[in-house]
Amino acid sequence: MTEKKVQSPSEAILASRRNFLRQSVVGAGAVAGSTLAAPYVNAQSGPIKWRLQTYSGAPLGAHVIKPQIDAFNAAANGEMEIELYYADQLVPTADLFRALQNGTLDAVQSDEATMASPVDISVFGGYFPFATRYSLDVAALFRYYGLKEIWEEAYSEVEGVTWLSSGAWDPLHIFTVDKPIRSLADMNGLRVFGVPTAGKFLSRYGLIPVTIPWDNVEVAMQTGELDGVAWCGFTEAYEVGWADVCKYALTNSVTGAWFGSYFANTASWQKVPPHLQELFRITIDQSHYYRNVWYWGGEAKLRVEGEKMELTSLPAEEWAQVLADSKGFWDEVAGSSPRAAKVVEAFKKYAETMDKAGYPYR
């Protein structure tokens, strides 16, 4: 009789989360199958075909976008099909914006900073230090504090690209291979794979941001080219395998949620009939919901029950210094353009409101 292998705590947690993914995709397909007739095909031109590339590699993309694309393709009933490509598969991540603008890609999922978007608000895409504490902060800022209108205005000035929606991803922690961070001085000289804005802020403590293809990160940590990552939270680190390479996790979160967006090539978007545009927006919202639950459900559980990394923290007085430094960083960015100043003002108003509201908001 074969003995059943005992799962480690992290394996059990990840297995339950992958089951959540399967149920979500099967559910979407079942709904589509029960309500739609035989696929419609335009006899003259055939279905609309799109190519969409995400910033994420395949293991992460299985959660942050694939459920949405599967649901859209099922519900589009043969009228439209989106081909999904992961990080660097068609074009390098740094070229995503140009590829979208010239029509090589029909759509992109990324943050502005990572894809080198040429707008004056690109610095806020990804992880802007201490702009958020929780994933719901992103949706609230866009809906009620003016960010939606600011983003629409910024992209209305860029030819060929239409911004569609922004949502929240995970918090930002620093994970290191064999050099624990227990003080700000420990950051000095560490080479980490990370997102541009947070990397720029953390570089004041000696951290060295390094940009390489996403799929090369794990090997680069194994060979010593990288000392760690400043790119994600616990959920992602465990899911993509970085927790197998890194021995240490810094519990201090520089930001509570990443700003990510969906973009379309304007000409491609205008060729999509209104009902399919609406379907795409609906499935984007579905993606935002799925992603928030997937990340939120994993962060605390893997931090508490995951056994793969030793947790470290900065001394309270040093962390207070980081918080103070971020205020100067905010003011510095606000001075870069009038529109950037509006975003920072929204951040400040939101933070002030949440602080005044108290528990459970802050």
pLDDT at 148 over 50: yes
What mean pLDDT comes out for the span 322-339?
A: 96
pLDDT at 275 over 70: yes
pLDDT in tens, 39-91: 444 444 689 999 999 999 999 999 999 999 999 999 999 999 999 999 999 99
Eight-class DSSP state of 6: P
What's residue 227's pLDDT?
98
CA distance 59 to 215: 10
Q: What percent of the chain has pLDDT over 90?
A: 83
What's residue 18's pLDDT?
62
CA 308 to chain centre: 23
Statement: the pTM of the whole predicted model exceeds 0.85: yes
The region, left, alpha or beta by phi > 0 then psi within -120 to 50, assigned to residue 160 is left
List, in sequence order, every residue forming a beta bridge with 230; answer none if it has no partner: 194
State which amino acid sits at residue 280: F
What's residue 9's pLDDT?
67
Please name each of the domains of the chain with its CATH number: 9-170+258-300 (3.40.190.170), 172-256+308-357 (3.40.190.170)
What's residue 85's pLDDT?
98
> Cis (ω within 30 of 0) for the bond into 360?
yes
Q: Tell me what the pLDDT averaged over the chain comes to.
A: 91
Ranges 237-246, 247-256, 293-302, 341-350: which has the least confidence: 293-302
What's residue 240's pLDDT?
93
What mean pLDDT comes out for the span 138-148?
A: 97
Long-range contacts from 7-16, C-beta under 8 angstroms, 24+ separation? 8/307, 9/305, 9/306, 9/307, 10/238, 10/243, 10/302, 10/305, 10/306, 10/307, 10/308, 13/238, 13/298, 13/301, 13/302, 13/305, 13/306, 14/238, 14/239
pLDDT in tens, 295-326: 998 999 999 999 999 999 999 999 999 999 99
pLDDT at 362 over 60: yes
What's residue 26's pLDDT?
44
